[in-house]
Structure 1
Amino acid sequence: MLDPRKLHLLRELAARGTIAAVAEAVMFTPSAVSQQLSALEREAGVPLLERTGRRVSLTPAGHLLVEHAQAVLEQLDRAAAALSAARGGPSGPLRIGAFPTAARVLLPSALAALTAGHPGLEPMVAEIDPADVSAALRAGELDVALVHDYDFVPPVTDAAVGTEPLFAEPVYLTGRRSLAEARDDAWITGKPGTLCHLMTIRACQAAGFEPRVRHHVDDFDTVLAFAAAGQGVALVPHLAATAPPAGVTLTPLPLSRRTLAAFRRGHGGHPGVRAAIAAFRTAFRAAAADLPPAR
């Protein structure tokens, strides 16, 4: 019989690409991961990996098994969620990931409601970039997370991760009335590799120019402070701009940032995850009552 723990390692190899990355994610040594995968090959009775020097790739049989492994691991999560529901109300640790704006603006009230309504729960929050959430969910480091995506930046899909839309918010341009007016300005963006940075670059490209980036800043409070100091223009989502510094003008653009709850497929029915999502929705309604519904 195939061992689900070994199937998890094979799925992580397919997602991460190297045994070293899998070992780091699951806190094993690379040799231990290799041994477990070799044992899985023996259990499967067919080669699952192709080894060329230090490089490892999946065979067609390996890719096929990953598809089935996803279904098996998802069903095991469903079984765990059902057993948790049978034990009664949500209880125990609940590991929540959130991007900084959500952690600052929305989570305090959501956590207060969550612990008041479910005193047996122990929420544990970690700030995380949305780009890192899928890996953290697959590895079991998080139970549920708040993530976002932008227009011009297609969401990254992961067969192991499910999402529920929560709400959408407009994106503002600081200091100018349109992107065309900001063509020759210095720009403040997130660090390269972040969704915020990519959204800014692509929005400017769609307007017909490449932005001249002067500052790379991820914290939107700092972005707004830099804008107030005349250090450039920026694109800032609504929740990050509810109290802009004096002198900063905000022009809404036909751009949106969408916030979603993310969880492992099969784990979305867990009582703790459902309670957290309900608390998120309540907090979002209070903080963003004037915003359009999620789409």
Structure 2
Amino acid sequence: MSSMRTGDAMFELRRLRMLHELALRGTIAEVAASLSYSPSTVSQQLGILEREAGVALLEPDGRRVRLTPAGRVLAAHAARALELDEGARAALAGGPSLEPVRLAAMPTAAETIVPAALTLLAAREPRLRVELAALPPEESLFELAARRFDLVIAEQYPGHTRERREGVTHELLGEDPIRIVLPPSEPPAPLRALHDRVWVMEPAGTAARQWAMQQCRAAGFEPDVRFEAADLTAHVRLVESGHAVGMLPDLIWGDAPPSTTVADLPGHPVREVFTAVRDAARSGEGIRLVRDALAEAFLSR
């Protein structure tokens, strides 16, 4: 499917996707960066779409543009047209050549689950091309809705459920225990005993950071978060070298034993590791194969 007809106008799907992206991202510059076009090309194509529609789709908003009411209506129809196109492609997939699967995974999964899954896929379906980007869940789930990726591996912490976007299905891969990590020279210690220690945590604004802060506060103290890092390997190195304590999921160790001292948190909390896929693409053969391999890799680690 490459176009959508409304009345006498035939809308090209490429231009409809630009409008859909603008509704999601908010600026022409971000649309251009996402789709690998120049901003002038995006503006030109949206201008053509506007002429085809016969109504104003964009209006000035300071130095930027925003969608008019008609623009928002057409953007909603564009999202459905993109879903139909994707659903048709998924229904036809699985023939002589499988569609590539664009996978975004949180770093801990990219380092542990994904390599094992790729090994399984290489033996089962060598025709299948899998492209991987390691991204935090906050970014990858947004980009899934924007169709940059086909499948996402993400997580959610207890009491911090991820936003459920319309047209996207979450499926649980499994549970991943979260524990206190201390320098390897130290014995295990309860959380309340770490009130005067230096902490390493993920950046402010992430679900992991919010959750970790709440654990410390529930234990009766405000943590001294001196180090921030999105890469959990940096957490491990800081703890190993004796500069900090932290909280890490078991998945960070993969098949190897922990290189730090570990201690249980109150209530033995776990984070849920899940896959997310757009409903329109869910039936695609390649996506099903990748998802099955990821589930097997998670359970066998």
TM class, shorter-chain normalised? 0.7 to 0.9
1:169 corresponds to which residue? 176
Partner of 2:249: 237
Q: SS of the counterpart of 2:130?
A: strand
Q: Is the 8 A contact 2:141 2:152 kept in 1?
A: no
Which position in structure 1 is the counterpart of 2:37? 28
Distance 2:13 2:258 in 1: 50
Q: 1:125 matched to which residue of 2?
A: 132
Is residue 26–residue 139 contact of structure 1 (8 Å, CA) maintained in 2?
no
Note closer, same or farther for the CA distance 1:13–1:208 as it changes in structure 2 (3 Å cut).
Answer: farther
Which residue type is aligned with residue 26 of structure 1?
A: L
Task: Flag the 1:208–1:48 CA change in 2: closer, same or farther, 3 A.
Answer: farther
TM-score, length basis structure 1 = 0.85
12-21 or 187-196, larger mean C-alpha shift: 187-196
1:61 pairs, out of 52, 62, 70, with 70
Q: Distance in 1 between matches of 2:52 and 2:217?
A: 52
Query: Shift of residue 55 of structure 1?
Result: 2.0
Q: Distance in 2 between matches of 1:106 and 1:135?
A: 22
1:115-264 residue pairs with structure 2 within 5 A? 115-138=122-145, 140-159=147-166, 161-175=168-182, 177-241=189-253, 243-245=257-259, 248-254=261-267, 255-264=269-278
| Among 22, 40, 52, the residue aligned to 1:13 | 22
TM-score using structure 2 length? 0.84
How much does 1:92 deviate? 5.2
> What's the CA shift for 1:286?
0.5
- Pairing partner for 2:60 from 17, 26, 51: 51
- How far apart are 1:76 and its partner, in Å? 0.8
- Shift of residue 184 of structure 1? 2.6
Matched, 1:277 2:291: yes
Cα distance in 2 for partners of 1:210, 1:37 equals 50
- CA–CA distance in structure 2, aligned partners of residues 12 and 202 of structure 1: 35
Deviations 1:235-275 (A, max 9, x none): 101211462225x1321444322212223331121111100
Q: Distance in 2 between matches of 1:26 and 1:208?
A: 48
Moved over 6 A (4+): none
Contact 2:121 2:290 in 1 (8 A): yes
When structure 1 is superposed on structure 2, of 198-207 and 23-32 the one drifting more is: 198-207
Give the residue type in structure 2 aligned to 1:73: L
SS of the residue corresponding to residue 2 of structure 1 reads strand
Q: Residue 106 of structure 1 aligns to a residue in which SS?
A: helix
Task: State whether residues 110 and 280 of structure 1, in contact with CA within 8 Å, keep that contact through their aligned partners in structure 2.
Answer: yes
Q: Aligned pair in 2 of structure 1 residues 180, 121: CA closer, same or farther (>3 Å)?
A: same
1:225 and 1:245 in contact (8 A); partners too = no
* Distance of 1:127 and 1:76 partners within structure 2: 27
Identity of aligned residues (%): 36
Question: 1:72-131 deviations in whole A, cap 9, x for unaligned?
Answer: 11111000011113x25x635333222221122212221111111012112232222222
Task: Give the direction of change, closer, same or farther, for the CA distance of 1:208–1:6 in structure 2 (3 Å limit).
Answer: farther
Which structure 1 residue ranges, 5 or more long, are not aligned?
A: 288-295
Determine the structure 2 residue equivalent to 1:105. Answer: 112
Alignment of 1:55-94 (within 5 A): 55-85=64-94, 87=95, 91=98, 93-94=100-101
Deviations, residues 170-212 of structure 1 (Å, cap 9, x unaligned): 2112246444333332111123454433332343345454321
Higher mean displacement: 264-273 or 175-184: 175-184
Query: How many aligned residue pairs are there?
Result: 284
More displaced stretch, 175-184 vs 54-63: 175-184
Task: Tell me the C-alpha RMSD between the 2 structures.
Answer: 2.4
